Amino acid sequence: MAQSALSLEFPDGTIREFDAGTTGKDVAGSISKSLAKKSVAIALNGELMDLAEPIASSGKIEIITRTDDRAVELIRHDCAHVLAEAVQAIWPDTKVTIGPVIENGFYYDFDRAEPFTPEDLETIEKKMRQIIARNDPFTKQVWSRDDAKAHFEKMGESYKVELIDAIDADQNLNIYHQGEWHDLCLGPHGPSTGNVGSAFKLMSVAGAYWRGDSDNQMLSRIYGTAWADEKQLKNYLFMLEEAQKRDHRKLGREMDLFHFQEEGPGVVFWHAKGWKVFQGLTNYMRRRLDEHGYDEVNAPQILDKALWQTSGHWDWYRENMFTTVTEDDRQFAIKPMNCPGHVQIFKNGLRSYRELPIKMAEFGNVHRYEPSGALHGLMRVRGFTQDDAHVFCTSEQLEAECLRINDLILTTYSDFGFGDIVVKLSTRPEKRVGSEEGWDRAESIMQKVLDKIEADSDGRIRTEMNPGEGAFYGPKFEYVLRDAIGRDWQCGTTQVDFALPERFGAFYIDENSNKVEPVMVHRAICGSMERFIGILIEHFAGHFPLWLAPVQAVVATITTEAEEYGQKVVDTLKAAGMRVESDFRNEKINYKVREHSLAKVPVIIAIGAREAEEGTVSIRRLGSKHQTNMTLEEAVASLTEEAIAPDLKRKRDAS
RNA sequence: GCUGUUGUAGCUCAGGGGUAGAGCACGUCAUUGGUAAUGACGAGGUCGGUGGUUCAAUUCCACUCAACAGCACCA
């Protein structure tokens, strides 16, 4: 151990010397008494450390107070320990496992014969508040691995023993104490249980597998949220309420877009209005595909088992496939993916290198037998439509094609108002087909493309690696977008496939008359049209932009006298290409406005005697309490302009 | 698939061993009313499904299906 003095650099640039063995608390105290009181931890070279820990090396130091963004991590971690103590105080035979910090809070997994009930949460919270009020300091002891193991064995904490077993033999372990209670823990922690404060709440109980493995025992997990102050907690709870309000399943019902029912778990009944949105989205995508040189095809839903054996799906994906046996004992599978079908189209006839790249697109209706617990509204279904395409190209063309696809994906997302994108590269999984050389080649090209995507984005696109998460036939890019309330959704994907063309014996004739295997790139932009619409519903909270809205305007009469003119308004708007409905019912205008506002119709056009006489319309926009009056001609002009899809607008403005 | 919870009218929900109730929505009539609910009357379910216990079950029990939350899986 170095006995020399510590040299610590403060955020303002000043450097000061301290004796060896100085703790964070000492450093804070050397600045001011009040800082020593307010501090909860320090960060040494950016890494959080306990206040009471002797500072081991020189470096950049920051004193972390409760208001620091990083302090909330400690609060959550402290809170998880307080939760664990509370649970063991109430139910002493409960075993503890782990309790990490997560986004917005923390959880702790327990092994207990009886599951926790929502009422239990209240009891636990009460106990937690007592522990916090006790304000015991968190003190760290370093134990040898053997001592720790023996200790937890004696206590019967078998999960802790298992955790210790997984730690390197020569490593010492931290034991954090709070009063009588203690836990094996990496740390760091705040100064005392009082540091948790009062801005926390236990949220829910759920089952979770020990160590995240479905072969392991199911534990009882308690989720909690914790914040630096009450205001932050309140904001967070408010956000959750907001998210609930825009739940696409709720809006789908209220807006009459789609429904599900018991007989069809995971398959969508699209209602007329929902289908309009679906078609609006499909039409948009068709135009974009056309722009980018794709040809749309359509391959069969049901194909012989033999084909799926060749593709490898029968071996790797069978548990997810719907299969059927006919009277004559032939076994078929409903397609879970479109690629084998597209390879058949590629193979039909002899292909020349002159034709490449061939870009084959399909709005492919696929079915996958997803685990029942995975189903979630439109976000996870068993029958869905992929905006799928396969690019058959030479390996020389691969990089350029990936970049071209990237361009199409990013412009599509921005047309829907998604700007915050992460591109992840997933590499070879354990369960895979194809040679190691093939994987090496594919991954190195993908890595190069990924770097280029990031470099060309002016820092707008973030990139990440996802080791072992690739498809069984090749590495892939995953495009993750962030919606209006900050949730992430994986939508687009670009997957390089060196395996499938080989399996099906697909080839083209190169310039030397040789047979050459093409590279196949699978790609999707929306991923699933169903899911993408679900995301759009939540992103827009049901307030679709005019070009996507299933009903763009409702013409509502105030009195029956205005009906004739109202019909003229409807006809005029329809003739101009608008999706308009009329509401000439014998109801008050207030009633009509309320009803169509709840149905999230973007434009309500009220027609009374005055408008009929003047040839005007009174327009009320969704979300606004005001009306604007204008002539019918003006209304048609401004609404049709607004209703132009972004890609068409772009094309028009470019010419 | 796993753990837990739920399943009563189109929707939101109350009730409870002796064959069900509210509000909204729906229908009829009256009302012609300027921007988020006009009034009156009426119709509507057999309490997710199957089996069991019981004189009797929608209510208790078992199984099953579906949904919800989380986990695992994933577009």
Name the active-site residue from A50, A76, A221, A339. A339
A386 in active site:
yes
| Distance from C-alpha of A220 to C-alpha of A216, rounded to nearest angstrom | 13
Which whole number is the average pLDDT over A461-467? Answer: 89
Nucleotide nearest to A585 (CA to C1'): B32
Q: Give A627-650 pLDDT, tens digit per residue.
A: 999 999 999 999 999 999 999 999
> According to the model, what pLDDT value does residue A217 have?
86
- Residues A461/A480, Cβ–Cβ less than 8 Å: no
The residue type found at A448 is K
Domains of chain A in sequence order? 4-65 (3.10.20.30), 70-243 (3.30.980.10), 273-299+335-373+383-539 (3.30.930.10), 553-652 (3.40.50.800)
Reply yes or no on whether the pLDDT at A615 is more than 70.
yes
Nucleotide nearest to A563 (CA to C1'): B32
> According to the model, what pLDDT value does residue A227 have?
92
> According to the model, what pLDDT value does residue A506 have?
95
> According to the model, what pLDDT value does residue A457 have?
82
Nucleotide nearest to A426 (CA to C1'): B74
Q: Give A525-581 pLDDT, tens digit per residue.
A: 999 999 999 999 999 999 999 999 999 999 999 999 999 999 999 999 999 999 999
| Distance from C-alpha of A174 to C-alpha of A185, rounded to nearest angstrom | 6
Q: Tell me the Ramachandran region of residue A450: left when phi exceeds 0, alpha when psi lies from -120 to 50, beta otherwise.
A: alpha
Reply yes or no on whether the pLDDT at A2 is more than 50.
no
Reply yes or no on whether the pLDDT at A226 is more than 80.
yes
Q: Which residue has the tokens 């014998």?
A: A586
Average model confidence (pLDDT) across chain A = 91
Q: Residue A315 CA to B74 C1' — how many Å? A: 18
Q: Residue A372 CA to B63 C1' — how many Å? A: 19
A476 in active site:
yes
pLDDT confidence bin for A471, thresholds 50/70/90: confident
- Residues A504/A481, Cβ–Cβ less than 8 Å: no
pLDDT confidence bin for A107, thresholds 50/70/90: very high
> According to the model, what pLDDT value does residue A1 have?
41
- Residues facing residue A628 across a β-bridge: A619
ipTM: 0.94
Which protein residue's Cα is closest to nucleotide B10 at C1'? A253
Helix (H, G, I), strand (E, B), or coil: what is residue A439?
helix
Q: Give A113-170 pLDDT, tens digit per residue.
A: 777 887 788 889 999 999 999 999 999 898 888 888 899 999 989 999 999 888 877 7
Which whole number is the average pLDDT over A453-463? Answer: 85
Nucleotide nearest to A586 (CA to C1'): B32
Range name among A145-149, A377-381, A410-414 with the lowest pLDDT average: A145-149
Q: Residue A116 CA to B62 C1' — how many Å? A: 24
Name the active-site residue from A288, A522, A600, A620. A522
Instruction: Please state, in angstroms and as integers, the Cα–Cα distance from residue A216 to each residue in A93, A95, A207, A212, A370, following that order.
Output: 20, 16, 12, 8, 21
Q: Secondary structure of A311-334 in the HEC alphabet?
A: HCHHHHCHHHCCEEECCCCCEEEE
Q: Residue A117 CA to B5 C1' — how many Å? A: 10
- Residues A466/A425, Cβ–Cβ less than 8 Å: yes
Element (H, E) at A322: none
A390 in active site:
yes
Q: At a CB cut-off of 8 Å and minimum separation 6, what does A235 contact? A: none
A339 in active site:
yes
Q: Residue A386 CA to B45 C1' — how many Å? A: 40
Q: Give A301-313 pLDDT, tens digit per residue.
A: 999 999 999 998 9
| Distance from C-alpha of A639 to C-alpha of A549, rounded to nearest angstrom | 12
pLDDT confidence bin for A376, thresholds 50/70/90: very high
Q: Give A590-608 pLDDT, tens digit per residue.
A: 999 999 999 999 999 999 9
Helix (H, G, I), strand (E, B), or coil: what is residue A547?
coil
The residue type found at A445 is I
Helix (H, G, I), strand (E, B), or coil: what is residue A266?
coil
Name the active-site residue from A388, A483, A497, A583. A388
Q: Give A272-297 pLDDT, tens digit per residue.
A: 999 999 999 999 999 999 999 999 99
> According to the model, what pLDDT value does residue A4 have?
60
**Phi, psi dihedrals of residue A112, rounded to the nearest 5°:** -145, 140
> According to the model, what pLDDT value does residue A159 have?
92
The residue type found at A300 is P
A259 in active site:
no
| Distance from C-alpha of A377 to C-alpha of A46, rounded to nearest angstrom | 42
Q: What pTM was estimated for this model as a whole?
A: 0.89
A539 in active site:
no
Q: Give A185-212 pLDDT, tens digit per residue.
A: 887 899 999 989 999 999 888 889 999 8
